[in-house]
Amino acid sequence: GAGVSQSPSNKVTEKGKDVELRCDPISGHTALYWYRQSLGQGLEFLIYFQGNSAPDKSGLPSDRFSAERTGGSVSTLTIQRTQQEDSAVYLCASSLEGQQPQHFGDGTRLSIL
Amino acid sequence: GESVGLHLPTLSVQEGDNSIINCAYSNSASDYFIWYKQESGKGPQFIIDIRSNMDKRQGQRVTVLLNKTVKHLSLQIAATQPGDSAVYFCAENIYTRQLTFGSGTQLTVLP
């Protein structure tokens, strides 16, 4: 499709397990963002990739969170040793280099049991 | 830290009436503002944006007003329709990097 694609749409896992969330940005968009949205809340910035520059990781809440972007396109957000407070919707957005607006995917709803 | 906030968490309007959703921001250095609409189970959908060198911008049935003096942003929806029911977020941006979001306003359109 033409939009940002995220997978899986839902993920349920046990506390302590690792999870990987995937984001396929809009073709040609060099900027990619990850946000987290807790129930009934606004979006919280996690990490930002722009072209070949070093990512801005200033929003990652702990060292259990990491993300990579391969080939300047697909990105994976990894959460290690998941905790119940990690339960949230993880949203990915992309945009043209140095431009707005950001276009969002529908997110991955992560539930930690 | 500085953040974007919303005046009202919920707003109910009659179908056909105009809606006004307000937002306050605190970072005077922000140069870009944006409104998103989020329906249940979906990601935020871009509605309209405005740069800090403008006071007003109009789209289809929507208008965004920016008052930099009092750091206030509003979204006006004309002739509100049932399909407009959703959560609306404002967000601010500096130098085209990450967006800082407010907590959202739930708009309910009454028949």
What local confidence, expressed as pLDDT, does residue B3 receive?
Answer: 46
The residue among B87, B58, B92 whose CA lies nearest residue B72 is B92
Residue A62 CA to residue A24 CA, distance in Å, equals 24
What tens digit of pLDDT does each residue of A57-93 get?
A: 999 999 999 999 988 799 999 999 999 999 999 999 9
Spell out where B45-98 has E strands: 45-51, 56-58, 62-67, 72-77, 86-93
Chain B nearest-CA residue for A90:
B43
pLDDT at residue B102 is higher than 90 = no
For residues B9 and B63, the model is more confident at B63
Find the CATH number of the domain harbouring A37: 2.60.40.10
Domain ranges of chain B: 4-110
pLDDT at residue B98 is higher than 80 = yes
Contacts of A102 in chain B (CB under 8 A): 46, 99
Q: How far is A105 from chain B (nearest CA, A)?
A: 5
Helix (H, G, I), strand (E, B) or coil at B82: helix
What local confidence, expressed as pLDDT, does residue B92 receive?
Answer: 93
What total number of domains does chain A contain?
1
* The pair of three-digit structure tokens given for residue A58, joined into one six-digit string: 């200033």
| Domain B4-110 fold | Immunoglobulin-like (2.60.40)
Domain that holds residue A55: 5-112
pLDDT at residue B24 is higher than 50 = yes
- Map tokens 């990512």 to a residue: A55
